[in-house]
Amino acid sequence: MTQATTDPAEFRFIAIARALEPIVSALRPGDRMPSLRRVARDHGVSLATAEAAFRRIESDGLIESRPRSGFFVRARAGVPVPRMPRRTTLALRPSVAERVRALLESVRHPEVVPLGGATLGPSLVAHESLSRSLARVARTAGAAGLTYEAPPGSLPLRRQLARLMAEHGVAVAPDELLVTVGCMQALQLGLALLCRPGDAVVVESPCYYGLLQCAEALDLKVVEVPAHPTTGMDLDALETVLATQRVACVLVTPSFLNPLGALMPDAHRKRLVALLERHDTYAIEDDIYGDLAHERALRPRPLKAHDRHGRVLYCASFSKSLAPGLRVGWLHPAGFMDRALTLQFTQVLATPTPTALALADHLERGGFERHLRRLRPLVASQVTRYRDAVCRAFPDGTRISEPQGGFVLWLELPAPPGSDVTLQRLCLERKIAIAPGSIFSARERFSQHIRINCGVPFDERMGRALGVVGELVRRL
Ligand SMILES: Cc1ncc(COP(=O)(O)O)c(C=O)c1O
């Protein structure tokens, strides 16, 4: 029983250090901390106790003192990116649908901090300009704006989609496109066109869990090809898979793969298309994040732009760039339009008319491009702020992705296997949603990983929540 452990001043400086953590998280590297004098005054303690609190945070490596200038937030240099999983040619039936549903239900509540689902915050949705387009359509389209819109969907919209794709280097006619209910339904259609129950398809590892859900629903097996954190799918590994077994298609997100944010270089895209041709198979490209490059000049040309022989089916939507509630996506079904139309009649009968017309109006007036010009730099700086906050709040040994686009971070944690689900539960008890890593694989390879959504502007609430998650990781 030493005197020191019962000294209330000791507990006080620890409590103050904890209270300051959200402030540290909310600041950027190089930002100045509040002054000692202010902290002492706010907490009603002496300058010496305030300084002891600062020294405590400094010893955790989060801040540094500069002579005669005060305390500043430290950048954590050289945080490594997550490691690639091992290669495999094993085909497995995924079983993630129940866990994904649990995740999505948990993030519906407004009081839960939304670090789980990959969504933009309401302030980043193009609310005003879209509302004007919706109102204009309601005024001008009359009853025709409320009739059935049979597949392939609204022609004014398909004209605008063809224009967008041409700008990205894919020459298509409006008649080659099919309007869908979001990107998810485009992916489902693509898979239904190319696969039969029991077939194997290739996915990136890790990959968006929605692809695994689709494969599960269609009774498909998946072969997971490792994804590099910077360049995406490992094409040597893919080549081995294609050389050793028959796969119905390759599901690929070349631009800003969810959850890694990787960008497949152009040379890899060309090689991938050549592999498809050589092995007589197809790709379904998910380009939902293609418009969200962090560097403005870098709107990648889709894989589809390299496709000369109808090997790539292209899927996209406006859910990540404009507004997820629109539920407007599209599919370029390559040479399978006829069957795609039949399937689409069966699956949805028709797609919603008012949102399609409003979106066509919005695109025609340049609203989408204006919105993207504002959104892209915001998203890029948001991701940087979240990443900095994770660097500071999470224990040493944490590995963090360096996304080149999109708005999610992928973390490999210094925690035992199976920690992701425990962490998810502990976070939810504290009203924080995170996405557990194991749903990004059919093999549950990523149970020491989590995905963090950075789509909501970073503020003190987010910084505090990341502080809590980081502390929970420390205790795992
Ligand atoms: C990579 C990827 N593809 C598709 C989707 C689903 O898109 P939508 O909401 O347009 O159906 C998502 C949503 O998170 C996604 O991250």
Interval 212-256: pLDDT, tens:
999 999 999 999 999 999 999 999 999 999 999 999 999 999 999
Residue written as token pair 């992705």: 401
Q: pLDDT at residue 75 above 70? A: no
Q: Does the pLDDT value for residue 57 go beyond 90?
A: no
Given a cut of 60, is residue 6 above it in pLDDT?
no
CA–centroid distance, 404 to ligand 1, in Å, is 18
Residue 337 CA from chain centroid, whole number: 29
- Bridge partners of 409? 452
Is 352 close to ligand 1, i.e. is its CB under 6 Å away?
no
- pLDDT score of 2: 31
Distance CA 98, CA 189 (A): 21
Residue-averaged pLDDT of the chain: 92
Q: Is the CB of 253 under 6 A from ligand 1?
A: yes
Domain range summary for the chain, segments of one domain joined by +: 4-73, 133-368
Nearest to 215 by CA among 446, 445, 441: 441
Rounded to the nearest angstrom, the distance between the alpha carbon of 22 and the centre of ligand 1 is 31
Mean pLDDT for 439-447 is 93
Contacts 24+ apart (CB under 8 A), 8-11: 9/49, 9/52
Average pLDDT over residues 282-300: 92
Whether the pLDDT of residue 385 is over 90: the answer is: yes
For residue 387, give both structure tokens: 């990443």
**Amino acid 419: pLDDT:** 96
CA–CA separation, 343 and 193 (whole Å): 8
What integer is the mean pLDDT of 41-50? 93
- Residue 20 Cα to ligand 1 midpoint, Å, equals 37
Note the pLDDT of residue 227.
Answer: 97
Query: Is 210 touching ligand 1 by the criterion CB < 6 Å?
Result: yes
| 97 CA from centroid of ligand 1 (Å) | 15
pLDDT at residue 76 in the model:
60
Question: What pTM does this model have?
Answer: 0.86
Q: Which residues contact 333 (CB under 8 A, 6 or more apart)?
A: 178, 189, 190, 193, 313, 339, 340
Q: Does the beta carbon of 251 sit less than 6 angstroms from any atom of ligand 1?
A: no
> What is the distance in A from the centroid of ligand 1 to the CA of 288?
7
pLDDT at 1 over 70: no
Instruction: Kindly state the average pLDDT of the residues 442-448.
Output: 92
Is the pLDDT confidence value at 301 over 90? Answer: yes
| CA nearest ligand 1 atom 13, residue | 118
Fold of 133-368: Aspartate Aminotransferase; domain 2 (3.40.640)
Say if residue 159's pLDDT is above 60.
yes
Tell me which residue has its CA closest to atom 7 in ligand 1: 183
- Residue owning the nearest CA to atom 14 of ligand 1: 118
Mean pLDDT, residues 42-57: 90
Residue closest by Cα to atom 6 of ligand 1: 184
Residues 163-212: pLDDT tens digits?
Answer: 999 999 999 999 999 999 999 999 999 999 999 999 999 999 999 999 99
Residue nearest to atom 15 of ligand 1 (CA): 208
**At residue 81, does pLDDT exceed 80?**
yes
Q: How far apart are the CA of 418 and the centre of ligand 1, in A? A: 26
CA distances to 33, 55, 181, 255 from 48, rounded to whole Å, are 16, 10, 61, 52
Q: What does CATH list as the number for 4-73?
A: 1.10.10.10
Residue 67 — φ and ψ, nearest 5°?
A: -50, 130
Cβ of 213 closer than 6 Å to ligand 1, yes or no, is no
% residues pLDDT > 90 (the chain): 82
Ligand 1 pocket member 183 (CB < 6 A) = yes
Q: Which pLDDT score is estimated for 8?
A: 59
Cα of 459 vs centre of ligand 1, distance in Å, is 25
208 Cα nearest atom in ligand 1: 1
Residue 60 has pLDDT above 70, yes or no: no
**Ligand 1 centroid, distance to 449 Cα (angstroms):** 20
Which of 317, 318, 452 has the most ligand 1 atoms within 8 A of CB, as the residue to mutate? 317
Q: Give pLDDT tens digits for 14-39.
A: 889 878 877 876 777 778 899 999 99
Q: For residue 252, report the distance from its CA to the centre of ligand 1, in Å.
A: 13
Gap from CA of 5 to ligand 1 centroid (Å) = 53
Confidence (pLDDT) at 77: 61
Instruction: Establish whether residue 118 lines the binding site of ligand 1, counting it when its CB lies within 6 angstroms of any ligand atom.
Output: yes
Question: What is the number of the ligand 1 atom nearest to the C-alpha of 328?
Answer: 10
* Pocket lining: 224 vs ligand 1, CB cutoff 6 Å: no
Close Cβ partners of 273 (under 8 Å, ≥ 6 residues apart): 283, 303, 306, 307, 308, 311, 312
Are residues 89 and 379 in contact, defined by beta-carbon separation less than 8 angstroms?
A: no
Q: How far is the CA of 313 from the centre of ligand 1 (A)?
A: 16
pLDDT at position 317: 98
State the average pLDDT over residues 278-286. Answer: 98
* Of 73 and 222, more confident: 222
- Answer whether residue 356 shows pLDDT above 80: yes
Given a cut of 50, whether residue 453 has pLDDT beyond it is yes
In sequence order, the 6+-apart residues with CB closer than 8 A to the CB of 310 are 334, 335
Q: What pLDDT score does 3 carry?
A: 35
Closest-lying ligand 1 atom to the alpha carbon of residue 181? 11
Instruction: Give 97's pLDDT tier (boundaries 50, 70, 90).
Output: confident
Using CA atoms, how far apart are residues 367 and 174, in angstroms rounded to an integer? 20
Nearest-atom number in ligand 1 for the CA of 253 is 1
Q: How far apart are CA 433 and CA 428, in angstroms?
A: 6
